[in-house]
Amino acid sequence: MRFTVFGGVSAQVRGRVTEFGPTRLGALLGVLLVDAGQAISADDLVDRVLGDAPPPRARAMVQTWLTRLRQTLPGLVEREGTGYVVRVDPLEIDLHLFRHLVRTGRTAEALPLAGDELLSTLDTPWARGRRAAFADELLEARLDHVDARLRQDEHAALVPELRALAAVRPLDERIAAQLIEALHGSGRTSEAAGHFEVIRARLQDELGAEPSRPLVTLHRRLQSASAPRQLPAPPKPFTGRALELAELDQAPNGVVVITGTGGVGKTSLAVHWAHRAAERFPDGQLYVNLHGFGPSGAAVSPGDALLRFLSALDVPRTEVPHDLAGQSALLRDALADKRVLMVLDNATDTDQIEPLLPRTPNTHVVITSRTALKPAHAHALPLGLLPPDDARELLAARIGHDRAQAEPDAVDTVVRRCARLPLALAVAGARAATQPEFPLAALADELADLDAFADDDDVTADLRSVFSHSCKALSAEALRLFRLLGLMPGSDISLAGAASLAGRGLRETEALLEELARANLIDEPEPGRFTCHDLLRDYAAELALPTERDEALHRLLDHLALTSVEAGVAFTPTRHRPATPEPADGVVITPISTQEEALAWLTAEHPTLMSAMPHGTPAQTWLMGWSLADVLDRQAHYRDLLTSQQLAVAALEQLDDADGLGRTLINLGRGLGRAGRQAEAEVALRRAFEVYEGNPAGQAGVLLNTAMLCPDDRIAEAMEHTRRGLALFEECGDEYGQANALTGLAWGHGKLGEFALALEYGERVMPMWQAMGHVLGQGETWDNLGTAYLGLGEPAKAVEAFTRSAEHFRIGGDRSLEATAYEELGDAHAAAGDAELAREAWQTSVRLHAEAGLPAERVLAKLQTEGQ
């Protein structure tokens, strides 16, 4: 037997289902089932089934229904004393099964049972009271299940559900805490912090109360989590430098410059101290390796370093000026009231660091350099060789203290012949650690041919002999890979990149990289990415054989170019895949299938691709530029967008590829437009139109991009470009292009106030986007429909359209469009007369604008006006 009381009452007996519907018989059965096993008096049955104003002879009516019920379901209802009771296993009733599953921790199984309201067909005071009580019970179960899913890291999937719950119960602090946790866990910490401010304001305005302690504790955790934590891992082992650490501890907030020869341990000292002092700087720690002494082209420019810092401090990208002085001033503003530690590692000269120095009272800057830099009011901390005892301890930590104590003379010999330089000791120690069966004295003897190092006051030691000593212990293949790693165009390399460089398989290359890491010749600062000290890299490049250099570099550039195409296609699936050459033998192409994988790969390889483009063949260079165009535009890296497309255009001018040149000129036009160089952007697009002569689809794409460059006072011109583009797309049967053009026309008519036409074009294009499964296209069309409905005086339809638009943009990952949709949703709610929902939508829009790096002054003005 099975019984339901959620929704309509029904009974399933021996496979036969009886649906009672909104009948009195069904109401009576439902009342008995809800309290199964408990006797209910006849008077109570009358009240529960007929309400507080029962008709005459109500008891007789209930008795009649009881008789019919007992005939319909024999043996189910029994008389007990003066009342009636249902005799059935409670787990056969969906309500009681729900409660059992919740009690036993199986809430995920319980929740689907309560999909409909309890006794939904019975409308009496008793039934309404039971429904209200169960609604609270159900909510608790749902929230318990949310807690379980949060523990399983389902943060992103929970955000829409929790947003809906928070809208219904805006003062519920448990729901607010869960939503804040879900937003933070899905990488939207600034939005999570914003929601805390929203609920705190509501509690104060409506209840005169402050948030509870758990909510305040969560907020503090978010504040800590949102502070930048950019320091690399602390060096292990780290020994000695007690005097220098004390000097760093005692230095007042300002600028400290640690100087010393290469390999003396400047970075290790700075990073070790920074971790030790981190609690003094609760608002965050900023770090950048400026690569001032790395390979040509790898040095980080002051502008790039500033952008990294401003991004880490959540400064909206569109607020960042194009000029260096403006960026430097903005960093000062961002740090004005913060206690932050900044580490500028591997600086080359004062010009590189001066724009990065905020010189705010609570910001402390530690700089490392081989050059004696002298920024104004800086404290100099020259770093000499390790004291003998510290050098011996560092070597012992590398090879094991028991082994060091067993051969103290050999330890002294190694320390002396490594000139007490930490880098040399680390490399030599790693060599000894890999051969524990060898006497340390024998390894020390191998260093006997080292040149004498200079004294502490003039450290100009040549480390090549120490490196050579360790390289001799490598296998032939590991030594070959080490030589080739000196050719890396960027500062680090992936496993697949290293495999392509070597022309070997992934497993073999991974084993070789492990061998190099054991020898302390390379580091793995993050999983799957490898780098090495610039002195080791320079040495490796010197070893590279002329016969292998060109082919190895070509393989690496092939890997970058061809994998970047896979990433570019996955990141923007609607782009036409460019023709690609066959990869050279030994090239590994990383498979990329999802947008998330594409974004992760392009973000990780962005600096390497920018460094690699000038060294590629024309085909390699333009393919890397094509692949970077969309992600750099979406992430607002407009300077690199422009540079990459300029390089790609120059490469394509050496190739016979009109389609590729046309595409890249469009991207160049976009980059010039983003940089505010409107006239140059129009020149690039006119040239693209000429290149595409005889190619209607290509020319149509140019026209749509030209339309997008038009400012708001040239909407009519933009519409004319779009109509011409639509005609060309129709001529060549390009449905995706047609949908883009129709969407542009719907938008344009909405901007011009021609709402009926905007509605017509939106309704025409929606089925096309839906047939293609194009999420962002549907989002844009819902947005255009919302504008049309609002303009036509139908705010309820506009609310629905903007809600759908925002959801599609969220799924499609376009935060800036989602932000705009929420702003428009607020406008629609305001037009519908719902000020509270309007305020909530605008607040969401402000948070999303900030997260996307967009100004939100217009939305903030609406909030301010609404609050007056």
d(CA 257, CA 592): 43
pLDDT more than 90, % of the chain: 32
Sheet holding 2-4: strands in order across? 2-4, 10-13, 16-19
Size (the chain), residues: 868
Strands 363-369 and 255-259: parallel
The single residue listed with the structure tokens 């950048």 is 288
Q: Does residue 410 carry a pLDDT above 90?
A: no
- B/e letters for 612-639, b = 16+ CB within 10 Å, e = fewer, are bbeebbbbbbbbbbbbbbbbbbbbbbbb
Q: DSSP labels for 653-706?
A: TTS--HHHHHHHHHHHHHHHHHTT-HHHHHHHHHHHHHHTTT-HHHHHHHHHHH
> Which tokens sit at 152?
């399983």
So what's the pLDDT on residue 536? 79
So what's the pLDDT on residue 786? 94
**Radius of gyration of the chain, Cα coordinates, nearest whole angstrom:** 35
Q: Does residue 461 carry a pLDDT above 50?
A: no
| Domains located in the chain, CATH noted | 2-136 (1.10.10.10), 154-224 (1.25.40.10), 242-382 (3.40.50.300), 388-472 (no CATH), 476-655 (no CATH), 734-867 (1.25.40.10)
Cα distance between the two ends of the chain: 61
d(CA 142, CA 441): 69
Q: Does residue 554 carry a pLDDT above 90?
A: yes
Q: Are 474 and 445 in contact (CB under 8 A)?
A: no
- How many Cα atoms within 13 Å fall on the side-chain side of residue 54? 18
pLDDT digits (tens, 9 = 90+) for 499-552: 999 999 999 999 999 988 887 788 887 788 898 877 778 778 888 888 888 999
d(CA 434, CA 516): 11
d(CA 706, CA 682): 7
d(CA 424, CA 428): 6
Q: Does residue 451 carry a pLDDT above 60?
A: no
pLDDT digits (tens, 9 = 90+) for 24-35: 888 899 899 999
From residue 34, give the alpha-carbon distance in Å to each of 107, 130, 354. Answer: 20, 9, 75
So what's the pLDDT on residue 469? 67
Q: Are 794 and 778 in contact (CB under 8 A)?
A: no
Closest listed residue to residue 588, CA positions, set 569, 560, 610: 560
CA angle 36, 37, 38 (to 5 degrees): 95
> Which tokens sit at 373?
């830099």
Per-residue confidence at 411, pLDDT binned at 50, 70, 90?
Answer: confident
Per-residue confidence at 854, pLDDT binned at 50, 70, 90?
Answer: low
So what's the pLDDT on residue 224? 62
Q: Are 310 and 628 in contact (CB under 8 A)?
A: no
pLDDT digits (tens, 9 = 90+) for 810-840: 877 677 788 899 999 999 999 998 888 888 8
> Which tokens sit at 783?
């947005």
Q: Does residue 223 carry a pLDDT above 50?
A: yes
Per-residue confidence at 644, pLDDT binned at 50, 70, 90?
Answer: very high
Helix (H) and strand (E) counts in the chain: 40, 14
pLDDT digits (tens, 9 = 90+) for 721-769: 999 999 999 888 888 889 999 999 999 999 889 999 999 999 999 999 9
d(CA 664, CA 577): 13
pLDDT more than 70, % of the chain: 94
So what's the pLDDT on residue 711? 80
pLDDT digits (tens, 9 = 90+) for 285-343: 999 988 877 655 567 888 888 888 887 887 766 677 777 888 888 888 888 888 899 99
Cis peptide before 237 (omega within 30 of 0): yes
Q: Indicate the Cα dihedral angle 845, 848, 849, 851, nearest 10°.
A: 160
For residue 596, give the H/E element and its range: helix 595-612
Sort 464 into a burial class: Cβ within 10 Å, 0-12 / 13-18 / 19+: middle
d(CA 823, CA 858): 9
Q: Are 503 and 562 in contact (CB under 8 A)?
A: no
pLDDT digits (tens, 9 = 90+) for 331-343: 888 888 888 999 9
In this prediction, residues 131-137 reach a mean pLDDT of: 89
So what's the pLDDT on residue 446? 67
